[in-house]
Amino acid sequence: MADSKALEILGEVAETIQGRGTVVRTKVVELLAAAEVEKRVTTLNAALTKRADLEREFRKLNRPDLEVFTDLGSLDTSKCGYSKQRATDLKKLKENVVKLDVGVNAALEGNTAEQWKKLTETLAKINVKTTPDVPAEPEPEA
């Protein structure tokens, strides 16, 4: 066989990486750390976005939906209030904002994997995705 430049290059590569186990290890650690940081950034962004949405929804709903009128047809604002459903919705919105605040604070202050996991679980409980949608594989045609 003739001398192969490709084999020469592969040989040089093998020699170069021979003693670089620590370099490979360091790069893998950096890669995995970067992936975890990106995951946490995505989770925090989802939490902050959802919190803003909840606040906006609260402001939108925080108006009496039961109005009382006098016999003269004017609105009696002292007797206006919320229906049971509206009061329940407002309470749930407030609770979800508090849950998000607690989760975000814990994740940022403690910065442990467990606290970030709890924040992700809190988001899931209030129906927020923290991972991008992945298109489904197309089914093979018969």
pLDDT given at position 72: 85
pTM of the model: 0.70
pLDDT given at position 57: 94
Tokens 């066989």 -> residue: 1
Q: Is 29 exposed, middle or buried (0-12, 13-18, 19+ CB in 10 A)?
A: exposed
55-73 per-position pLDDT tens digit: 999 999 998 888 888 888 8
Contacts of 61 (CB under 8 A, 6+ apart): 86, 89, 90, 93
* Cα 111 to Cα 108: distance, rounded to the nearest angstrom: 5
* Cα 96 to Cα 79: distance, rounded to the nearest angstrom: 28
Mean pLDDT within 41-57? 95
Share of the chain above pLDDT 70, in %: 88
* Cα 100 to Cα 82: distance, rounded to the nearest angstrom: 25
68-103 per-position pLDDT tens digit: 888 888 888 777 888 899 999 999 999 999 999 999
103-122 per-position pLDDT tens digit: 999 999 999 999 999 999 99
Confidence of residue 134 (pLDDT cuts 50, 70, 90): very low
Tokens 């906006």 -> residue: 56
pLDDT given at position 138: 52
User: Residue 75 gets which letter from DSSP?
Assistant: B
